[in-house]
């Protein structure tokens, strides 16, 4: 198991503003020791295969640092598996919501659902990809403009073979752990086209939706795969409370820095500043809950693999907070109000 290196660098903007950690936690974020190499490998792969529409779009993709955030979420994977996590999360982000050219952004929920359903058999390995005209027909059907339609008719969108090849490589590394990621990934993909996301009115409903939207089950299964951790059914059942707690913490940390807090402000009849303080208090409590639940598991006795898994959940939370506090995606919004 590779050792992780501490990352304490905070962006210059935050240092100048004097911002401190929202959670006031003693946890320290770690980053995978091969983060730089993995980021370069991941960027090169997508720059080679993904049809970005312009040089500016390619630059935006590189600046997004998908490899870095993955290396913060997962600081303890095997060196030969961290790239799988980077590729999977990157392609899911490109499909929906995190990049300016994400595929589902301007689709209707129904079309987005059909699009995702088209990819799922490929991920399971049930059908072969169309390598000559990957997703050409489905992209033409959902094309948003004449320019989009022209690009898609050329068959230059290789989502099919990228998804297929990635899952085949993951199954070759560990069939059981790789297949264990499938259903959580499908749940995450379905959440992106869930009508619930446009009709949330209450805080409780919001947190339930965000648990699926943030993909906590996906992150947990992916962490087990990259760290080569096989837990028994009983051990996985014992982790449910920690995973749900982790999901809420990650969701709310993201929302402290993004404008999703506007949804909560409306739901609670509080202004943005008050809502932000409420979220900060919630995060602090969830950190303490994680420490308590972990201590309880250790007290009753658990295998080293379970202890490592619980530590991995902690690193997901602290790594997500580090990324949320430093990524330009959120920091620019805080600084400019846009």
How far, CA to CA in Å, does 84 sit from each of 5, 97, 122, 166, 203?
20, 20, 17, 7, 34
Closest CA to 75 of 324, 322, 331: 322
What residues act catalytically?
A: 73, 93, 188, 216, 323
State how far the Cα of 242 lies from the Cα of 246, in Å rounded to an integer.
6
Write the DSSP assignment of 269-318 as a string of letters: T--HHHHHHHHHHHHHHHHHHHHHHHHHHHHH---HHHHHHHHHHHHHHH
Alpha helices in 50-174, H assignment, sequence order = 55-64, 66-73, 82-95, 109-124, 136-141, 146-153, 159-173
Closest CA to 229 of 85, 76, 86: 76
CA–centroid distance for 306 within its chain: 22
Q: At what angle do helices 175-191 and 82-95 cross, to 10 degrees?
A: 20
Residue 45 exposure: Cα atoms within 13 Å on the Cβ side: 21
CA–centroid distance for 218 within its chain: 8
């Amino acid at each position: 198991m590779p050792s992780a290196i501490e990352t304490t660098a905070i962006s210059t903007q935050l240092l100048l503003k004097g911002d401190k950690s929202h959670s006031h936690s003693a946890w320290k974020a770690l980053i995978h020791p091969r983060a730089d190499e993995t980021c370069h490998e991941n960027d090169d792969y997508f720059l080679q295969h993904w049809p970005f529409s312009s040089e500016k779009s390619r630059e935006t993709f590189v600046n997004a640092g998908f490899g870095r955030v993955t290396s913060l979420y997962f600081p303890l994977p095997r060196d030969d598996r961290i790239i799988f996590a980077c590729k999977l999360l990157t392609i899911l982000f490109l499909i929906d919501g995190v990049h300016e050219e994400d595929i589902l952004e301007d689709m209707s929920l129904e079309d987005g659902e059909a699009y995702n359903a088209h990819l799922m058999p490929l991920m399971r390995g049930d059908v072969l990809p169309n390598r000559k005209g990957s997703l050409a027909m489905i992209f033409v059907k959902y094309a948003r403009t004449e320019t989009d339609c022209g690009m898609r008719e050329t068959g230059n969108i290789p989502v099919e073979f990228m998804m297929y090849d990635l899952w085949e490589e993951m199954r070759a590394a560990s069939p059981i752990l790789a297949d264990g990621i499938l259903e959580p990934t499908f749940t995450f993909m379905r959440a992106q086209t869930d009508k619930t996301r446009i009709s949330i009115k209450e805080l409780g409903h919001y947190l339930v939706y965000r648990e699926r939207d943030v993909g906590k089950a996906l992150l947990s299964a992916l962490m087990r795969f990259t760290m080569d951790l096989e837990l028994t059914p009983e051990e996985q059942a014992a982790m449910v409370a920690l995973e749900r707690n982790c999901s809420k913490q990650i969701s709310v940390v993201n929302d402290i820095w993004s404008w999703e807090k506007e949804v909560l402000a409306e739901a609670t009849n509080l202004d943005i500043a008050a809502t932000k303080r409420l979220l900060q208090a919630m995060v602090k409590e969830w950190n303490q809950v994680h420490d308590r639940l972990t201590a309880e598991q250790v007290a009753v006795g658990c295998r080293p693999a379970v202890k490592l898994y619980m530590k991995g959940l902690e690193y997901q939370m602290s790594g997500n907070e580090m990324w949320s506090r430093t990524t330009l995606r959120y920091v620019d919004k805080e600084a400019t109000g846009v």
